Structure 1
């Protein structure tokens, strides 16, 4: 929403005392987690209001602290829907329910993207579509500071389903982020994000009035909504099959889980295994040894979080049969056979074998599916795999040759850069020129009121000069992209190349991609010609030698006809794919490789 400069920004004005009191009352009523004393902190005395219009012409009002930092805002004509800014959320991080996402996603959100469902690692409980939420960076064992504010695009059920199946789509429509245009309005814009908060989980009853349940790839607990302590508790030690040690039973609300509670949790795991997995096994899969049945089917199906008989709650992901009333796997299986859930037969050495399960048993049919240890492990593996791929992609980008097209003010563009209060001796990227232009047009109010695609260049002398070509009548209005294209065309072209471990190369002129062309030579023999690689710090002899081995073909190096300083590599055969693969492995971005097969045209001629 605030990724581009505002279309209009009015002068700020002090808020009247009566309006401030009304605003404070609205804040306290809208966010019930707040205490009366929080009103003066989040709606301070000396508050300012400032009307604005976004680049999409959505009207809004920003409420600024006495220092000038935006603390609240509204969007939409006549809207009373108060939205906290990131500045406010850093004062009260628990003000909104949250979703967390990997670090690699955060720059995309800051750049204006919405949060997608695959990018959600953990989230608060009870989320509904359209609800205001904050977005934090995921930290294992800690809760990161809010970095974005948005509205839920889907209900919580969709996020839950995404843990088991691949669900695409948007999770949160982002309204405002750290370091966007709204953030930059404040004098505190250079402030760095706070450190993540680390807590021990405080397990509360899921049904309590202010309880907030937080789902994570590593755990699922209910925590106090008043503080959100333990919202990102690291529960690695509670995941995976138990080893049969004499560890104490898991803690529950109001005390320790009883042996009966543990037995019920294990029975629930068995019911889950029968209904989800064992019932679909072929008859030939049986018999199954007791140890395999226990480790492969029952333990992975343990619930992560259970409600106890006394109304309390506990993390049951680490429960072990020794903590139950049965004390052993064999006794548990015997009791399950007596109930009619499974069938057993005796094996050698006093062990038992599972010969079948009763999928039609009323207890199985009435079992309500729960989130299991295996679900958690699978989700965690997905997150780790995604983070691993992101790290590999990041490392690969580091090895790439970094290429930047630059533009320097020249001739009739110089007065416009002076008018925009920019250094005329600097180099600017395409993105820089676009940002300067958008801010200039907004400040000068040059957008055509009848058609927002057009800019009234004739109303500004410097801009009109900057876009007018030689022997051309000055235009009165042009499309936005056409204006940008003309400005860049009238500037001086440069390029910059950064290769790993080498000096930065910056030269005047327009950089051309490496040409890889297949041509016919000496009758019907096809060969691949490679030219234009010198600017990228690639050596002709080295490339020729590697292509000779890679393509198992003869290669040669010779000067380009008419350009003795440039070299041409010839490889026998149609080798565009092989040459492209080698150049990419050398760090050259694929979009800077231009390949063509000229043999078809040759035959037609």
Structure 2
């Protein structure tokens, strides 16, 4: 919900009475067990309900849930793929020794308050705690995806939390930090009725509302930036000691269900673990340290330079300078990594982004880089004679995992299935412009005002009219005389046009007359048809000139540059399908949202960096889009004075 930054109004302190009512509502809604109440019940039982038994207050749990300094404010934001407007109330408070943070939020007309991770870290057991593999948390949930049923993990021999009914608010943790909630959502299904073996199950299990890393997590009164999650929290129910201790010795079978935004896991046991307990899942690969990721990226760069030097002539050995950051990651680093799994990405390195990685390579003397005005860092040259390159020894790159579909026919089917996932790849697109004639041209020049005519047909009709009237000729064929039809119906059709010269001369050039007919919307109204491959019979003319794909490069938050792509739908390109490809190809985050000020349903893709070259020459080109159909606006350039 807080993927986009909310607009928060002025904070106002809660009255003590309102704070107590809200805290009591939270205790009731989430059936929170209050230790003081249990102690009071025991004391009353021992004293036989003696009226002199001291009463125990709820001040401590109330203060833990809603600190005495709590303030509230209204907020508005947008959420979901269509950027639906969302409004509600946030509750901000300070836990002992911590900064002021958003602790609870409420949306719409639903009176139920939803806790943030800061509240969960302070109040163990408030919500049911579910678990999912760490790569699902890192690559799916913290990017705004919902948690799918195949992505759920639990210890064998245990039951799903009985509080996790449909509509219940739940927390989600990874496997390594199994007692630290990092994600909050509401159950879309009754998890209590799920089978123990989730293989083959499909659908959304939990719809995401908030997570560590979103805008609510990063908000604070002065500046921004969230607090890192602790390594462990006593009081939350983990996956049991035996299972978490065995995680580092197992391998995760990656059966991700890519079409559903979650991850399908092989939950069959891999044999008995310590004390006879079965293992729940296998981890895909042991997660490397930051130093190991750094070393892998550095070696991959050397591998790419070594290969280019061995197979291409000097001086540039096949490289086209300057090298963009997206090309560096997608064409030089990723194919040459010693280990090909989700743990080896730039965000897991000490640099965190490509710009700092390039700066690191520059400091080592391997290359020369330059910061462009838009904030992007490019590679200007590579030192192919550096000792690191000349002394590099290639290593064996990992081979793709063999599967049962390695036969030629199966490979072909797999390739077809892959390409069919995005039907716009390989399409042939043509744009045809047609015209409808106004009543001023019918029937003298064209027979009907309801039919559509191409420019060639209108030119041919104009030629036939001139040939049918020999008196219009004279003084060669370059110009013709004006007759009443040409002077009144054509040149007199639009008073805003400057036709004084041909009217005064009594003659007009043939080419000028043809352009006058086609370009004047009072004479010929333009329509367009965007035809995909050979489906001409399905194309219907639409009023107006042919549209263009809009590509905008602009700055955000200072020097950060992004590329926005919109108006893809008329060209049969699905923005939701295009975004993941751009994210991979440009090695930067890509998001899809409702275009600002556009019609509902028209989306735009936003990707980090100046990606116009990648988009036009690669991504859009293979979808049949001609460069002349792309309108580029560069807002990073300084305005001319």
Settle same-fold status: TM greater than 0.5: no
Higher strand share: 1
TM-score by length of 1: 0.40
TM-score, normalised via structure 2 length: 0.38
